[in-house]
Amino acid sequence: MKIVVIGPTSLLAESFMIMALIQKHDIIQLGRKQNFKVKDCTYYFSELKEIDELTSCADAIYNNHGTIDVVINFIGTHHKPMDFEKDDLQELYAVFKRVMDVNINLAFMMTMVFSKKMIPAKHGHIIHLCSNASRLALYGSYGYNASKHALEGLIKTAAAQLAQFKVRINGIAPGTVISDLNRKMLIVDGNLTNRALSILAHTPSKQFCSLEGVSETILAACIPQRHLTGNVIFCDDGYNIEGHSWPDGNEELYKHRSVI
């Protein structure tokens, strides 16, 4: 398969590309920065801000590589919890707009541009990285939650309209992966924080996700599946299905313990 990876520098994108290359898929990187850790990939630079510029990149990709099978959007950002009582409202609104621009406005632009290329070919699959926040509330995460809820709406709307052209749109929602980005929120002095324990308490498997495991799910979604469209697939060890935790079974999780 020919797979375009938008936002190739994230740890998840890197893990996915390595796995896809092992399976002999062609990977084309598109974004502001190239992931030099992943070899044997063609790279196209884009600021990912203007429709005309992204359209030129899509034209170049299709002219140089032919019909593309899958486009995956790994771009995303988040913010610290917002407090309407204590925080400056102008600053909060600026953060909200920034997150919406990255997480939903860019996703819409990317969907428009690549769908335009896929419609005449009657072939193509666009995958967006969603989140548990696509369905659930996360405390104080107004911009992140709003953008991820909107992203699921974008996926469903585009999938319904583009089905007649055999173009599919889906989302993958990973669970929590311990990474450099969130490590300080989850582990302090070798112990799991209350936030980490809360996540595990609501996860039936009682484990965090791995980059490799999430990459397996994304790669599986890339395989041609003619009836899979308009869905968000949760790869979260069951976090979304457990409404409340079982107190006796989770008691030990609420005691700080060293990370094994």
pLDDT digit string, tens, across residues 63-72: 999 999 999 9
What integer best gives the mean pLDDT of the chain? 89
Tokens of 66: 């032919």
- Going across the sheet that includes 26-31, the strands are 42-45, 26-31, 2-6, 70-73, 124-129, 167-174, 232-235
User: Which of 106-110, 133-137, 175-179, 212-216 is predicted least confidently?
Assistant: 133-137
| Residues in the chain, overall count | 260
Tokens of 19: 């796995």
Interatomic CA distance for residues 201 and 82, integer angstroms: 24
Whether the Cβ atoms of residue 25 and residue 36 lie closer than 8 Å to each other: no
Tell me how crowded residue 92 is: count the other CB atoms within 10 A of its CB.
16
Q: How confident is the model at residue 199 (pLDDT cuts 50, 70, 90)?
A: confident
For the chain, give every domain's residue range. 2-177+209-239
Q: How confident is the model at residue 44 (pLDDT cuts 50, 70, 90)?
A: very high
Q: What is the pTM of this model?
A: 0.89
Q: What is residue 260's predicted lDDT score, i.e. its pLDDT?
A: 46
Whether the Cβ atoms of residue 72 and residue 6 lie closer than 8 Å to each other: yes
Instruction: For residues 42-66, give the mean pLDDT.
Output: 96
Interatomic CA distance for residues 40 and 117, integer angstroms: 24
pLDDT (tens digit, 9 = 90+) per residue, 5-31?
Answer: 999 999 999 999 999 999 999 999 999
For residue 103, give the DSSP letter: I
Tell me how crowded residue 164 is: count the other CB atoms within 10 A of its CB.
9
User: Which of 87-91, 97-101, 227-231 is predicted least confidently?
Assistant: 87-91
User: Which of 16-30, 88-102, 196-210 is predicted least confidently?
Assistant: 196-210
Fold exhibited by the domain 2-177+209-239: Rossmann fold (3.40.50)
